[in-house]
Structures are given as C-alpha cells and as structure tokens.
Amino acid sequence: MGTGERPDLEALKREVAGITWWHTIDLGHGIVTPGQDPTPARLPEIQLPDDLSGLSVLDIGAWDGFFSFEAERRGARRVLATDSFCWGQGGWGTKAGFELARRARRSNVEDFDIDPLDLSPEKIGTFDLVLCLGVLYHMRHPLLALERVASVTRGRLILQTQVDLAGISRPAIAFYQGSELHNDPTNWCGPNPAAVMAMLRTVGFRDVRLVSQWFAEEVSLARMNGTPVRGHITVHAEK
C-alpha cells in the first residue's frame, strides 16, 4: 500500500474479525479491534507521559501492541515491542494482531521475540522508557524478571501488576498453585505493594513511586482483620 493510498476497508474488517484480540486498538477509518481488554481506559492509570519525543521505548509483553503504538503516537523516536508467550509460544494469543495493527497503522514499531527472563543489554540494548504492564504476576521468578528488566532500563520503568496481600504492610508474595487466580495457570504470583517497591529498589531503581492503585476491598480494614486483598497497582521507577 503506497503513501496516501486508501486501504481496502472491507478486507481490513475481515482480517480484524479473523483474529482473537486482547487489546482494543484504533486502526483508523472507524475500525477498532474488538479487544477483550478495554486498553485505552488504562492510560490514566499508568500515567504514560504525553510527550515522548526523542525517547527510545521498550514494551515488554506487548501482545497486540496497543502501548507500543501509543508510545509511537506520542513521539518516541524508537519503539521496540517484545513478547514470546502471547505471540504463539504457549498462550492463546498470537502475533497476528500486532502484525495487522502495525500494518494498518503504517507503524515503524520494531518487534523482537524474547522471554522477559532472557532480556539483556547485549540482546536488545537499553532504553529511556520501559513498559512492563501486566507481566510480573505471570513470572515464576519475579525478582529475577525484575533484574532482567532493570538491566535494559536506563531511565524510567512503568510497571503495572496484579497485587495480593495488600493488607500486609511488610513485603510479601502470594504464590498461586495451578489455576487459583482467575482460573489461569499462567498467573504465578501476587506480590503486595510493599514487595513490588522493595524488589524494584533491590534491582537498582533509586526513585520508586506508587502512582495508582485499585483494590477489591478496603485495605485498612483488611489490615485489621488479616484478610488478603487483591488488586492492581502502577509504579514509576527511575534509575
């Protein structure tokens, strides 16, 4: 398709309909992917900077690529989307959504198939801004995963994750055996907010800030009666 050439919208709609989407992505021309996740609504929670001009961005666990394309839209000079499990290596997702969205949006986002535990500066370089959204609680080895993430972050990390045991003030991590969490065997751990913050400092982030949080129950009451509390948080961490 040449520059300025109008796409075949009916063909694009058929392609979109043939893919099972996780992200909700605006492809233009009134076509929005039917994602199971209301992805654009997560932007206020993660507080992605409005202007990313001149920055390099790494999106870990990119899946269909919503946040990769959003970083590009906000001016990032280079965006690298990485994934493995959700691009056909075990999960129900595939890379087809990412590839179609990139083509439909005429995007220059790069891609690289790699597991989070294999990340290193030697393999992918380092980045001004790293996004690790909805990944940590899928890791069998969360601290090791954060070490790998830290190794490729030279500026800021934006981390969003499922948390558990929020009523406990000291660092603690819940372990999910089998399909205990949401009937999904890929959910392995639920660190509490204190554990997330402590692990990030341990792997080398000096300024760690909690920027948003949501919990299923009232945390202070849970702390009084010892009830586990689940939810999700977003943390910004600076090198």
**165: CATH:** 3.40.50.150
pLDDT at 71: 98
DSSP 116: G
pLDDT at 88: 86
Q: How far apart are CA 8 and CA 58, in angstroms?
A: 31
In a domain, 3, yes or no: no
pLDDT at 3: 46
pLDDT at 178: 84
Residue 92 DSSP SS3: coil
Q: How far apart are CA 119 and CA 121, in angstroms?
A: 7
The secondary structure element, H or E, covering residue 209 is strand 207-215
In a domain, 2, yes or no: no
pLDDT along the chain (239 residues), means of 10: 65 96 96 96 96 98 98 98 91 92 97 97 98 96 98 98 92 90 82 97 98 80 65 97
pLDDT at 6: 65
Helix axis angle for 96-104 and 66-73, nearest 10°, is 20
Count of domains forming the chain? 1
DSSP 5: P
Q: Which of 151, 101, 97, 145 is nearest to 122 (CA)?
A: 151
In a domain, 145, yes or no: yes
Q: What is the pLDDT of residues 23-39, one digit of tens each?
A: 999 999 999 999 999 99
pLDDT at 91: 75
Please answer whether residues 174 and 165 qualify as being in contact, where contact means their C-beta atoms are separated by less than 8 angstroms.
yes
In a domain, 32, yes or no: yes
pLDDT at 219: 63
For the chain, what is the radius of gyration of the CA atoms?
Answer: 18
Residue 115 lies in domain: 9-238
In a domain, 212, yes or no: yes
In a domain, 179, yes or no: yes
DSSP states of 34-52 as a string?
Answer: --SS-GGGGHHHHT--S--
In a domain, 41, yes or no: yes
In a domain, 233, yes or no: yes
Please answer whether residues 33 and 17 qualify as being in contact, where contact means their C-beta atoms are separated by less than 8 angstroms.
no
